Amino acid sequence: MTEQELRDVLIGALTQVAPEIDPAQIDPAADLAEQLDIDSMDFLNVIVAVHERTGIEIPERDYGKLATLDDAVAYLASAQ
């Protein structure tokens, strides 16, 4: 997948978990949990949704590497 496709998957997963968010308002360099006001369970649901859509395994030890949209895209691109 391209980085844009990965970004679209992440945004889709985020809006699935928090449908009230406006994807255009997501700051790609800011902490996702803080700016979107999602808790750890919501974040886990995002990770599960990303895995289901991409097939990329994301071990728990790497969750911190997905803190921002840019970080998450870079992580997923390197994990393909």
pTM to 2 decimal places: 0.93
Report yes or no: 26 and 35 within 8 Å, Cβ to Cβ: yes
- pLDDT tens, per residue, the chain with 80 residues: 999 999 999 999 999 999 999 999 999 999 999 999 999 999 999 999 999 999 999 999 999 999 999 999 999 999 99
Q: Where are the alpha helices (DSSP H) in the chain?
A: 3-17, 32-36, 40-54, 69-79
Domain 3-79 of CATH type 1.20.58.1610 = no
